[in-house]
Structure 1
């Protein structure tokens, strides 16, 4: 009986959908995906590039971008608008099989191809009439729905709205839009935000009613073309050495926002693999991973302009200039070594950079990724996992990162070691299944122990272990590189990497060498498949546990032997027996390593951090620090925020942007709450490991993080009161009073005015790093 009712329900729902499609087809003709590009606009037609694009970017892209765009509707380009939406989610941590690839600009070349992949239109694709453009256009209908049902006049929105990254998105098709609107009258667009200003709303509606046509994309300014030619010549040297070097460069820069800092204008480029040589139209080779078999005899590396709007959560700027080319020539072409055979693309080899690039000098590879260490580390945060607690709950909320100094001695020592132990360095990126997590943990822990034991045995045979560790063995940025030390902030399921040593002394720190950086990159960037199944994602996170522990363990070697165990015990409070047994193994303890650093107190870690801060104090950038403010009173008052700790922070989210109005203009700051944990050894049950009494607060200049949770606006005359209210916000009443007085909630009638002000400040303060923020994590409190 139940089965019969279920089948009847399926038939009914299917029949309704078919009826809706048939009705649209009968009224407005059959759906025909087509090209909306016109040579010239007719009189009265609205210009997409000059008029429509700025509105969509600043009002719609703030939610609809990257892999986590609701319904995969990416509105940052005309191509994304024409592609439309999908009911399938890219981020699905329960799928048993890897998903079909749906990367914009890569996995389909026309609107018809996207329809074949299951994407449905948000623009009218029936007959081209004024009425059809309104009635059969999902985008038009959702904008009109918002206009007909404006946001309720309330500070906190009701349960009619759902929030959170995992909220269900309905993604209505054209034939479903009427039913959707009847069920959810308040779910017009922008979702759970104020409607557009009248002039913006009318502009978008008129453009849609006119058929959403657009002229050809504006041509790239001519001054860029000569530089593209010069760099594509560099990237496509035909020698075996040249082909191997540029394969290495590509596999590390395929996600970079490349730009020419010698020229003006915000034009960013991607380095892609193409079937065609420079001088011909680019024919992108779209593979799941950058090291997958391209299935061509010769790969060409080409520069293509990024067509979508720049969004902060994926934006990783990387400058190309004459200095860079000279540097790469010195690293890879002025060295004496031989490349006598190109590696293949068999997954077992291509997923292991230590095998693929074994003919390139280790010190050259290491210096290449060190030169832009912030970009390298940022890759696993802003790369394929642009939303990702699975990848990010393996790290603490706040820690510092340092690097081992490069040395040409590595070219002989490490090259020989890698040749003998390449299998121990293989990564799980090619695996898709994990059915027994504990068994997999044991397998990789044994492998990691073997690797550490082999490494120590090899170094001992060379006499390197007899050299005591001290700060001279840490990379100093060659005296001028600001990437020498980094700070990582984790904001629950997103994170940020900043140059410099920011915030108070952290609980933990990492000390990374070449093999650590390379494995992190190939595990969570080059080898991470956002479309992969749950097994692949769990394996990636599991393996990152060992890389984190190794990096932390190397940092501990700078401390006296007797204090290492104490620190590790603090970092891994409450960890399960398997983890503790691993941490206590001889290979991890590595008692043979001594430090030459002299300590004078009973808190050597604090001493070490002070020595490190002194080592880098003249090198690292200071623009994030309050001390860089000209207004010393403002800096001093805001600095007092860092004294608020523990339970007083219970209600604050992890990332808030503060606008302070001063007589000299707007100043922007980011308030970061660092959540304390007993340990970071499990992807499940994070809340059970929380220690709210140890939470801390950091305030920095500018914009740190891509996903703000709250906005505040304060006049500098009220700063003392604002900070007083933050310290009292641990109670529900105190938090409510703070919000009512200073917050710019997502429901605020002037929200978009404030948003525009934020973007002006962001672009002025950080013109290269600037990108649109993501508003999907704005809270409703």
Structure 2
């Protein structure tokens, strides 16, 4: 009987939904999914780009951007609003089959095409009257709902609103908005945040009433057109050498926000594949991944304008200029080697970049990635793989990254090694993987065999301890700040910045070419965010090997007698077999002792200090407290030195605004580094936490695209804030802390504080800055 009753209930609900969806048809006529295929031109003197998009950027893009936009609604461009929303999430760790990709500007071009893919409109597609535009336009209804039902002006947000990142999609489609308003009156937009100002709401309302007019994308500047023509000629040479290099460049730059270093307007572009040559309109090849078969024999690499608002969580700037072109010509095109044939696009090819690009010099490939190493690492930090805890619990909360020097060793010998053992470096690929454990065991075996071969190669090449020293670490050629990076994990998001930021961390990676290339192809070029659970798990599990390999490269610089003890400390919670995997299994070791002269018993800490000294000439200084006003440094430093279990009540990534009378406000990032006994566990991370080992990193400026909290204090309040933070012992304690120092969601000043943060971010970090994402903002 229960099953029958459940079936009846489902049928009744479906019928009610159908009735609701047809109510607008009865009131305003049938919907026309083609209504916005051609946008309505704005009245003379008005501009969507100048009046509407800036409001969306300030109030809507903070949540509605990229793949994790609620209900896939993107406010980063008019085309995103015209596309509408979908109740199907992009991030789904349970799906058994790969999903249909839904990339804006890629997988469909017109709103009517998005309707065929299951998206529903948020702008009125019924009769084009002001009344219908208001009443049947979900965007307008949700904005007015917030106007009618504002949030309280203090405390936390109630009303049954769910702010968890994995909450179910609550998107009302069509006339379902009536029921949504009744059930969730506080659910108007912006969701769980203060409403728009009367002026902002008036501008958006009038725009919606007029039918959401749009003048089309901004034209490309004459200078940018010249640079596009120059670079498209460069990327579309006809010789096999040119074509193979261009493929390598595309598979590394497809996520980049490219800009021309002599363009004062710094307009951003993306590199795409097109069936049409330069000079003709781009006919996009919409493959799932850049490594997939383009489907045509001859295609072309083109530069297209980035048409969406720049958001910090996906912004990866990359400069193109005369110096860059000369560098690549020298490395790849003028070098004395030949390319006899071009590789294909099979699954085996996608899984093995070392075989695909074997004809390109190893040194050239490594330097291509090293020249902009922050961008290279940023690919897996800001690419679509790194959303959610499962993708990120494979790394520690903060660690330093350095690189093996490209000037050390015989690159011809390394090329021979890579060519001979390329099969050992194969990566898991494919969007739908049916198995997990069997592939993991297979790739573990390959990794062990590779590390064994690598250790023999290193022992043979080094010859003795006298060659195992700091000269192995790239010094940036004395001028490149990409030689030293810091990675921060913020639980389910992450950041990478230039410089060795903060106190010496627990762990560090030293990355060589084979490792750097595999990180990129595993988590960036080969990763399909629309792939199934098997694809995602295999990528996550393989990343364990790559982390361990980076740590291995650091460990071999330690005295041989301290390597195992250091490794065991990093993996305290793991079995002996897991610990041995750092070395590729129990039989794999490097029998050569370090040639570095150590003077203390703690060689790990001493080595981290030596790395900082060696790289001092190129270290970025952007995140040092010396940039803060002198009178603030001591209390800020004391705040950043808080340690231990009290920090478990603090969010991962908070923005601290310090305001002093007569001085401009200043922004600092307050980052919690969570202590772990190990990060090798796929599930059960909470068991590995070590609250007593929690630390803070406090730096000027913005690190992290997803702030969890805003704090606002005067310099005089910093000592009291520090003591309050040391005394946190419960959620109730943190609630009192927030009441005193936090700018909560309900605070009437919320938007002015947020706007000030973004304004200072753009002023102080202009190349890195973008709209900050508030999807993870706390409600405590």
The TM-score bracket by the shorter chain reads over 0.9
Indicate if the aligned counterparts of 1:36 and 1:213 stay in contact, CA closer than 8 A. no
Say if 2:217 and 2:307, in contact at 8 Å, map to a contact too.
Answer: no
CA distance in 2, matches of 1:615, 1:456: 25
Deviation at 1:464, TM superposition (A): 5.1
Name the structure 1 match of 2:42: 41
Q: Which residue of 1 aligns with 2:770?
A: 771
In structure 1, distance between residues paired with 2:250 and 2:456: 34
Q: How much has 1:244 moved relative to structure 2?
A: 0.3
For residues 560-709 of structure 1, what are the structure 2 equivalents within 5 Å? 560-583=559-582, 589-629=588-628, 631-662=629-660, 663-709=662-708
C-alpha contact 1:278 1:302 (8 A) present in aligned 2: yes
C-alpha spacing 1:408/1:738, structure 2 compared with 1 (3 Å): closer
Q: How does 1:79-94 map to 2 (within 5 A)?
A: 79-94=79-94
Q: Does the 8 Å CA contact 1:37/1:213 hold for their aligned counterparts? A: no
Give the match's secondary structure for 2:52: helix
CA deviation digits over 1:357-395, x for unaligned, max 9? Answer: 000000000000000001111110101225132221100
CA distance in 1, matches of 2:391, 2:455: 29
**Separation in 2, partners of 1:161, 1:303:** 42
CA–CA separation in structure 2 for the residues paired with 1:528 and 1:384:
8
Tell me if structure 1 keeps the 8 A contact 2:347–2:429.
Answer: no
Query: CA offset at residue 166 of structure 1?
Result: 0.5
How far 1:131 moved relative to its partner?
Answer: 1.3
Cα distance in 1 for partners of 2:306, 2:443 equals: 39
Q: 1:267 to 1:367 in 2, by over 3 A?
A: same
For 1:101-112, what aligned pairs fall within 5 Å after superposition?
Answer: 101-112=101-112
- Contact 1:124 1:138 (C-alpha < 8 Å) held by counterparts: yes
In the TM superposition, what are the counterparts of 1:527-566 in structure 2 within 5 Å?
Answer: 527-566=526-565
Report the equivalent of 1:319: 319
Q: Which moved more, 1:447-456 or 1:133-142?
A: 447-456
- More off after superposition, 727-736 vs 539-548: 727-736
Q: TM-score, normalization: structure 2? A: 0.97
Q: Deviation per CA, 1:64-108, whole angstroms, max 9, x where unpaired? A: 011000000011000100000001000000000010010111001
Alignment of 1:310-459 (within 5 A): 310-407=310-407, 409-430=409-430, 432-433=432-433, 435=435, 437=437, 439-459=438-458
- What does residue 13 of structure 1 align with? 13
Deviations 1:106-148 (A, max 9, x none): 0011111100000000000011011111121111111111111
CA distance in 1, matches of 2:586, 2:321: 44
Deviation at 1:434, TM superposition (A): 5.0
- CA distance in structure 1 between the partners assigned to 2:375 and 2:592 by the alignment: 30
Matched position secondary structure for 1:429:
coil
Once the two structures are TM-superposed, the CA of residue 207 in structure 1 deviates from its matched residue by 1.0
SS of aligned partner of 2:359: coil
Write the distance in 2 (CA, Å) between the matches of 1:767 and 1:584: 42
Q: 1:398: Cα distance to partner?
A: 0.7
Residue matched to 1:505: 504
Checking the alignment, whether the CA contact within 8 Å between 1:553 and 1:588 is kept in structure 2 is no
Deviates more, 1:512-521 or 1:647-656: 647-656
Query: C-alpha displacement at 1:591, in angstroms?
Result: 3.1
The offset of 1:22, in angstroms, is 2.5
Contact 1:449 1:588 in 2 (8 A): no
Q: Is the 8 A contact 1:363 1:410 kept in 2?
A: no
1-side partners of 2:214 and 2:583: how far apart?
64
CA contact (8 A) 1:67 1:386 kept: no
Aligned to 1:167: 167
More deviation in 455-464 or 304-313? 455-464
CA pair 361-725 structure 1, distance change in 2 beyond 3 A: same
Tell me the CA shift for residue 242 of structure 1.
0.4
TM-aligned CA distance change 1:449 to 1:11, over 3 Å: same
If the length of structure 1 is used for normalisation, what is the TM-score? Answer: 0.97
SS of alignment partner, residue 493 of structure 1: coil
Give how far 1:468 is off. Answer: 3.1
Structure 2 CA distance, aligned partners of 1:242 and 1:544? Answer: 32
Shift of 1:585: 6.0
Change (3 A) 1:400 1:106: same
Check the 8 A contact 1:624/1:701 in 2, yes or no: yes
Q: CA deviation at 1:578?
A: 3.8
By how many angstroms is 1:458 displaced? 4.1
Distance in 1 between residues matched to 2:435 and 2:328, nearest whole Å:
44
RMSD (Å) for aligned C-alpha atoms = 1.8
- Bigger Cα displacement from structure 2, 269-278 vs 45-54: 45-54
Question: Do the aligned residues in 2 keep the contact of 1:56 with 1:75 (CA within 8 Å)?
Answer: yes
Q: What is the match of residue 283 of structure 2? A: 283
Change (3 A) 1:210 1:5: same
- Separation in structure 2 between the aligned mates of residue 486 and residue 457 of structure 1, nearest angstrom: 29
Deviations 1:494-513 (A, max 9, x none): 11101111111111100100
SS at match of 1:650: helix
Give SS of 1:673's match: strand
Q: How does 1:192-341 map to 2 (within 5 A)?
A: 192-341=192-341
The Cα of 1:25 is off from its aligned counterpart by 1.4
Residues 583 and 616 (structure 1), Cα distance of their counterparts in 2 relative to 1, 3 Å cut: closer
Q: Could you tell me how far 1:418 is from its partner in structure 2?
A: 1.8
Give unmatched runs, 5+ long, in structure 2. none
| Larger deviation, residues 242-251 vs 631-640 | 631-640
Alpha-carbon contact 1:434-1:538 (below 8 Å) kept? no
- Pairwise CA distance, 1:738: 2.5
Q: Helix, strand or coil: the match of 1:428?
A: coil
Of stretches 108-117 and 454-463 in structure 1, the one that deviates more from structure 2 is 454-463
Q: Cα distance, 1:184 vs. partner?
A: 1.1
What is the distance in 2 between the residues matched to 1:188 and 1:463? 65
Any conservation in 2 of the 1:641–1:698 contact (CA below 8 Å)? no
> CA contact under 8 A between 1:291 and 1:351: conserved in structure 2?
no
